[in-house]
Amino acid sequence: MLTKNKYFIFSIILFLTTYLLFGLTNFSFIDSFRDSYEDTIVDPITYISLFSAAVSFILLFFSSEIFKLWLRKIVSWFLPISTLIILINGDGQDIVGPDRTDLAIFFGFILVVVTLVFALVQKFKYKR
């Protein structure tokens, strides 16, 4: 079972791994991958892991019941829909819409705000 502490550790490890792998290494195959897929794969993964770390940090201050509710009521529909929209969207070079990096930032910001509001509402709801 996923707990809020495990989720926090996983999200921090994911962010540090993506940052170290794509930001600080100088291996030629990683550099060529980063140059080829920076806008479509590397940046969205980096921003998603950053926002995941932010959300997990927010949830550390709330109870385990709120974390479980958040998993069932927010993550169960938000992550599949946002991931599908990011994957379906093009690379941003056509007129259709924003690129995947912008969408990852937008959905990550929305997830952080929704998580904070949801956790605060649930905290005050459980206090009564």
Mapping DSSP onto H, E and C, the string for 41-103 reads HHHHHHHHHHHHHHHHHHHCCCCHHHHHHHHHHHHHHHHHHHHHHHHHCCCCCCCCCCCHHHH
Nearest residue to 70 via CA among 107, 123, 109, 108: 123
Tens of each residue's pLDDT in the chain, 128 residues: 788 899 999 999 998 988 888 777 777 777 777 777 776 777 888 888 889 999 999 999 998 999 999 999 998 899 889 888 888 876 655 556 677 888 888 999 999 999 999 999 998 887 75
